[in-house]
Each structure stands twice: as C-alpha cells, then as structure tokens.
Structure 1
Amino acid sequence: MTTNHEILEAALARITAGYVFPEQAAAIDAAIRRQLAVGAYQGLDVRELCKRVTDDLQKACPDEHLRLLWTEEPQSMDEEPEDVARARFARYARENNYGIRRVEQLDDNIGYLDLRMIAPADLGGPAIGAAMQLLATTEALVIDLRQCRGGSPEGVQLWCSYFFADDGVHLNDIYERTTEFTRQYWTLGHLAAPRYLDRPVTVLTSDLTFSGGEELAYNLKVLKRATLIGQTTRGGAHPTDRIPVAPHVTVTVPTARSINPVTGTNWEGVGVEPDLAVTPGRALKAALEHLRTRLG
C-alpha cells in the first residue's frame, strides 16, 4: 500500500518537473514539505489527504488547476497507451454530444446554444458545424457557457472562427514549459457551416465556467465580438496534465499557460469578468432583453 509520504513525494516530483512556472514550483515544494515536517498529514486517509494537500497547494500558489485528486475507481500506475487514451476520450466526447447540449431557435429569431464542454476540433468538428448550420438564419445569438467546465484549445479556435470573417484574427497563444514553444491560435479559413457575422452575440457565464469555456468567453470579449452576461468565471487558464501517483490519487499539473495577444495576459486566478453582472439564474433573461434592444 502506498503511504501518504510516498504519494506526496511522487506528486511533488511531478510538480517540480512540469509546473509551468518553475520558480513557483520550488516554493510549492517547500510549502508542502513544511507541512510534512510538522506532521500535518499524519493519520489522514487518502481522500482527506487529497483535500488537505489541494488546499495547501492553492495557498502556496492560487492555481485552480493545481490539485491532488481522489478517484473512486482504482487506476493503473502504468502509462496508458496513447491510442487507448484517445479512444477513451473519443467515446466520452461522443456520449456527451461533443459538449453541445441544446441548439434552439427562441422567440424573435434569437438563437440559443448551450455548451457544456469544448470538444477537440478533430472529434467535434462535424457536430459544431451542424450546430452553426442550424443557427445560421437567426438574427442574434446566446451562447450559454454557465455549465461549461473546459475543453480543447483547438475546439475553442474552431468555435471562435465562426464569429469572424476570415483567418486573419489572432485568438490566443499557449506557451509550453517542457518544450519552451509558444503555439499561436488564429481563426480558421475553412469552416463546415456559414460564419455568424454582423449579428449581436451574448455569452452567459457563471462561477462554474472554467478553462476552455473561459477562453471562449475571454476571446470573444476582448475582441469585442460578444457581450458577456452573468458572473465572473472560475479562473483557470493553464492547460494541465493528469498523472496517477497512487491507485486512487491523481496529481494535476499545469504545464502551459495562455497568453492573449490583445491583453498580453490571461484569466488565471481572476476569472473572466462579465460586461453585465447578474446572477446565473437571471443571465438568460438579461441576455434576451439586451439582444431585443439591439434588434430594435
């Protein structure tokens, strides 16, 4: 049986080797080791250990993606073959309709798109195109991200591309620590459905909106293509690896960071602020009122 000390040694090794800010990784390591030295984690069961260590990790470094997670089902400690991992995720994406929960025409010819996940473009492209085809004749659009917990940067790139005229819009950059390479994301030139141009768009957000959902909202806001309505989002801007360190424990390590070409920064730790702050329960009504005013 893996001891708490062994779990923490394995987790700290992964954080030190991979965390996107190396200088902060050293401080994180020191903070957890101070807690170890005073016996803070003695006598905890593994589930309690994960919660306590996650709290301490985020006190040392307020990064929502940096966590020690308990998993109910035991997991293999062997690295999962890439083709097996891809097949498992493809099945998950398909079973969740590539994140598209609802596509609807509301009164006054306002479109409504409820997104719960941002699927990778190579998996979700046909479904994303089908959704945008159904919305093509509406006069205004609500994109509901209130329950969108994240997803793929390539998926965000594809969704954003539908709201700009061509492939000339620089959306985001992602810097990876391990390679020290910065990848640029621009709007795409070829799409499977008509672009949604010259019509008002609102995006609904909540304090559950996270990661890839936040990037979609942030990109559309800073490029002045949408009005955000709802709550400030949760604040996670760092692409993350999930690494088993015990049969029931996974450490999540942010290994990259977003750099927006307009703001030069991202939403990590602060979230994406709405243009109009309302409770999540009132956000759809407020968005429809806003759009009807715009439509005249």
Structure 2
Amino acid sequence: MRFFRKYAAFLVCLICRSGVLAMYAPQTQELSVHTQLKIVKEFQKLIEEKYVLEDKATLLADGLSNAIKSGLYSEPESPAVFVKRTNLILQQSFADRHLGILTPEKFQQMMQMFGSSPTDQTDAETGHVASAGGHARTLEDHGSARNREQKGLDALRQIAGITRVAEISRDGLNQVGYMAFERFIHSEKAKAIVRNIFQTFTESERLIIDLRECKGGDAEMVKFISDYFFKQPTHLTSSTVRGGAPVERWTQPNSLSPIFARKKLDILVSKQTFSAAESFAFGLKQTGRARILGQSTGGGGHMNDFFQLPAGFGASISIGRTYDPRSGEGWQNKGVIPDVVFPKDHTLSETMKLITVESGKLESFSDEQLKAYRILQAYTNAWYSAKADEMKDLISIEFKAIYSSKGKLEKRDYHQQLAATKQGSGVLPKLFHNRIIRNIEVSGSKATAELVLRETTHEIQLLKSGRGWKIVRDDYHDKSFHD
C-alpha cells in the first residue's frame, strides 16, 4: 500500500480542512392537509415544466392528480410517510429513480453536495505474537498500520468518494491497479487525489475500477477520470435537456493519458451501480475502451436537478438524458449490460482469475515450473490465511526458514513454521494478499524461485517429492517498502 504511506497524512489534512456535511434534525411534526397539497401541486407544476420526457410528464402529473382526488392527501401525515407515499405514486406512474420529493433534511444534504447545477446524481485483538523462534511481529504494530490506513481510507471516502485503492496481484504474475468508488465527487481536492492515484498506477499492467457500490455523483468527475484512458479527444456521450440542443461530452487527454490509454481497463458493476457511475461505464463501453463485468446496472440514464418546494421540501426531477451519440441509445431503466456476467460478491475474484488466463503467462511455464508455481501460490495463501493444515502439506520435514535483515538472523524449522502460520503471523486483510512469483528455475529434482510478499522478499528452494514439489528452504529479508 505505497499509496497510503505516501498520501495518508496529506489526505487526513485535507479532510480536516474540508469539514463534514452538516447534520440536520429530522422533522417530526405532522404536515397538514393544506401543506401536503401545496407541496404536491408545486411538484406537479415543476414536473410538467421540467421533466425530460414531455409525454411522461403529463402521465406523472395525472398520477398525482388522481391521488389527490382519491383522498390520499386528506389526513395530516408525518413528513417521512408523505414523501414515501408521493414517491411511490410517481414510480407506479412511470419508473424513474431520479424522480421524487426529498425531505428538508435530505434536500439540504443534496444542496450541500451538489448545489443547484444539473448533474448525474445519486439514487432519490492486541498482544505479542511471535513466530516460534522466528521473525516476530506484534498485532499492535499491525493495528497501528491499519489504523493509519483506515484514516487514509476515511479521507479518500470523504473527499473523493473512493473506498479502496490497491495494487493487486493474486496470481503473482499480473500487477493490477485497483480503485473502488462509492460516489463520484468533483472538487479540486478530489481531482488531486485521483491524479496522485493514477501516478501510483503508472507501472501497473492494467486497471480495475470497481463501481459495484457506486450510486452516482458528479458528471464532471466522470469526464475527468475518462480523460486518462484516451490519448486522442474522444466523443463519449451526448446529453439533452427538454427543449435544448445536445451537449457533447468529449475527453481531453492529459500528461498521463498516453500511458493509461495503452492499459487494459475492466469496470466492475452491479445492480447498485447507478446514474453517474453508469454513465462512466456506458461511455467507456460504447467507445470500446473498457470491458464491463458483473451484473446489469440500475438503469438511471437521466440527469436530474434539484428544486425548492414549500415547507423546506425539495424535488429531484429528471431534466435530461444521456445517450450514445452514435446510436441514440441510452440506458434508462434497462441499465448498462455487462460484457461478462458474474455474481456481485465474486466479481473481483472472478475478474482476477480471468486476467490470469488472458495474460497467457501460465502458458510460458513448463509442466514442472507450473507445478512449482502452484506450490508457491498455495504456500502464500496458507501463510496469509493462517492455514497451518495446508502449510504442512507444502513444506518438507527438513524445512528451514532463515530471516536476515538489518543485522538480525532468525531461523524457523518445520514445526516452528507451522506454529507461526497457525498463530496468524502473516494474516492481512484479503485485498492485500499480494505476491509476485518470478524466476522459477527447474533443474532435475531441484527448483528455485523468488517470492515477493507485502513486507518481505523470499528466495525459495524446492525439492521433487513424488510427482510434485515441496518447499525445503525459505531465505527472506525485509523489503525497503511495502507493496
């Protein structure tokens, strides 16, 4: 996690300066019939004037009129029930998740985040643990590092809507830059963070942008990120508002675009992916620049804006639509269809497996190199996951691990290695189960390889055991920095 060591302090400083969204006490007083009708009628008027699809605007307004006539607003009601009822009426008339009434608290939050400009929006244990006789580490040390990383992640989320940044190598062969969003936030601070992340990923072989939990955000950040993936100006999408001329969204290459335009890009999506997140996936899919994996998205292909209603309530109204300028087609209600379908919770792991196969790197191994590679993979997984039962099947009874770094020399034998594994000396969050496996050399019944883990570099020796291999020696030392 080089990114967090380099930028954690910077990010925490930014978030302290930025402050947090104001919290608003929810209204509990009931709304009178008069107030409810006043809000609904003003909302009707806005829909008729602003809603992007004129024929649907009439349908939506009529739905509210019928609700009034049927007496659905004839009794005092709480703000929460009033909003829920009204929005249900709208969705029954015509499904559009961008359209709805907002409580005063929600309306103020939206105005804090987005202002009043049209945009693609969001949906209305401690102690000392030592490897027996070996290299010791403490859970307190791990906790301190994780706390620092968590502060960095909190800052990323607050300022830029980013929930995770990492360089991932699950197969030991391919280095993948990974970035996950929960919301696209457009600000100079957010842009600075994204720019620094891309600087960190310049040596990654390819990228994954994970939008499975991203429910929207600002269209300007969609464009800003898209700019990195095209070395020439490219027409991504067009948008129109009711009665207006089309507005084209083009990429503008930056200094890093020539680097990232050559890298393969996978975008992960789910049913929760919505609005601006869909716009990003849609534009890069339609231009052939990215592969989309996961599930069909939420279907929020309209742009919305916010309007003031009586009594402090607000309205979110779809005022425009975004579409492919080549076909005129958008993704409203039907969503962005993935190129490869995976279950949501397995999309990342399945994508990483796909990348391994597509890279062709396994095909360059001889049969014996491939067997040794699989032993190294299993050895790493057992260490990271504290699976001593699996470790004992991978190492020889003559196994030795020798740690030498900074004047220290420590050793572990077979039994001590199993104890260290069982105690969790190598346990880290799963996303960081990185490794690099390289220089596998086989000579008769012996093999050697280099294994690079998150904190250490290992020179591994293996011996033929029956039809397979077992690890007999692991000489390792600290890295100068962590991946």
What is the TM-score normalised by the length of structure 2?
Answer: 0.55
Contact 1:120 1:152 in 2 (8 A): yes
Q: Does 1:68 align with 2:130?
A: no
Q: Give matches, 1:20-31, under 5 Å.
A: 20-31=52-63
Contact 2:116 2:306 in 1 (8 A): no
Measure the CA separation in 1 of the matches of 2:297 and 2:197. 24
Measure the CA separation in 1 of the matches of 2:106 and 2:267. 36
Higher-Rg structure is: 2
Q: Does 1:172 align with 2:237?
A: yes
Q: Does 1:110 align with 2:142?
A: no
Contact 1:73 1:248 in 2 (8 A): no
SS at match of 1:256: strand
Decide whether aligned partners of structure 1 residues 246 and 192 sit closer, same or farther in structure 2, where only a CA change above 3 A counts: farther
Give the letter for the 1:177 counterpart.
R
Match of residue 293 from structure 1: 357
Decide whether aligned partners of structure 1 residues 84 and 13 sit closer, same or farther in structure 2, where only a CA change above 3 A counts: closer
SS at match of 1:56: helix
The more displaced of 256-265 and 267-276 is 256-265
| Deviation of the 1:191 alpha carbon | 4.4
Decide whether aligned partners of structure 1 residues 96 and 192 sit closer, same or farther in structure 2, where only a CA change above 3 A counts: farther
Give the letter for the 1:101 counterpart.
T
Measure the CA separation in 2 of the matches of 1:45 and 1:62. 24
| Deviation of the 1:229 alpha carbon | 1.3
Contact 2:271 2:296 in 1 (8 A): yes
Measure the CA separation in 1 of the matches of 2:268 and 2:106. 34
Contact 1:133 1:194 in 2 (8 A): no
Contact 1:200 1:294 in 2 (8 A): no
Measure the CA separation in 1 of the matches of 2:156 and 2:350. 32
Q: Does 1:157 align with 2:189?
A: no
SS at match of 1:184: strand
Contact 1:16 1:22 in 2 (8 A): yes
- The answer for unaligned runs of 5 or more in structure 2 is 1-31, 118-154, 361-483
Measure the CA separation in 2 of the matches of 1:5 and 1:84. 26
Decide whether aligned partners of structure 1 residues 73 and 22 sit closer, same or farther in structure 2, where only a CA change above 3 A counts: closer
Decide whether aligned partners of structure 1 residues 75 and 185 sit closer, same or farther in structure 2, where only a CA change above 3 A counts: closer
Match of 1:249 among 294, 304, 313: 313
Match of 1:266 among 311, 324, 330: 330
Q: Does 1:126 align with 2:186?
A: no
Q: Does 1:35 align with 2:67?
A: yes
Contact 1:133 1:193 in 2 (8 A): no
Decide whether aligned partners of structure 1 residues 125 and 191 sit closer, same or farther in structure 2, where only a CA change above 3 A counts: farther
Aligned residues: 284
| Deviation of the 1:230 alpha carbon | 1.2
Measure the CA separation in 1 of the matches of 2:264 and 2:195. 19
Measure the CA separation in 2 of the matches of 1:244 and 1:221. 36
Q: Does 1:99 align with 2:99?
A: no
Measure the CA separation in 1 of the matches of 2:107 and 2:324. 38
Decide whether aligned partners of structure 1 residues 271 and 213 sit closer, same or farther in structure 2, where only a CA change above 3 A counts: same
Measure the CA separation in 1 of the matches of 2:107 and 2:250. 40
Match of 1:217 among 281, 303, 310: 281
Measure the CA separation in 2 of the matches of 1:42 and 1:25. 24
Give the letter for the 2:63 counterpart.
A
Does 1 or 2 have the higher relative contact order (CA < 8 Å, sep 6+)? 1
Decide whether aligned partners of structure 1 residues 85 and 11 sit closer, same or farther in structure 2, where only a CA change above 3 A counts: closer
Match of 2:92 among 51, 56, 59: 59
Measure the CA separation in 1 of the matches of 2:180 and 2:57. 37
What is the TM-score normalised by the length of structure 1?
Answer: 0.87
Deviations for 1:54-108, whole angstroms, at most 9, x for unmatched residues?
A: 11111212111111223447959xxx89x9879xxxxxx9872222222211113
Match of residue 90 from structure 1: none
Measure the CA separation in 1 of the matches of 2:254 and 2:108. 40
Give the letter for the 1:45 counterpart.
S
Give the letter for the 2:41 counterpart.
E
Give the letter for the 1:145 counterpart.
L
SS at match of 1:284: helix
| Deviation of the 1:152 alpha carbon | 2.0
SS at match of 1:185: strand
Contact 2:228 2:256 in 1 (8 A): no
% identical aligned pairs: 26
Give the letter for the 1:143 counterpart.
I
| Deviation of the 1:273 alpha carbon | 1.3
| Deviation of the 1:236 alpha carbon | 0.7
Measure the CA separation in 1 of the matches of 2:348 and 2:248. 33
Q: Does 1:4 align with 2:36?
A: yes
Match of 2:270 among 206, 216, 230: 206
Measure the CA separation in 2 of the matches of 1:8 and 1:35. 10
- The answer for unaligned runs of 5 or more in structure 1 is 87-92
Match of residue 210 from structure 2: 144
Decide whether aligned partners of structure 1 residues 192 and 117 sit closer, same or farther in structure 2, where only a CA change above 3 A counts: farther
Measure the CA separation in 1 of the matches of 2:100 and 2:36. 15
Measure the CA separation in 1 of the matches of 2:307 and 2:116. 13
SS at match of 2:185: coil
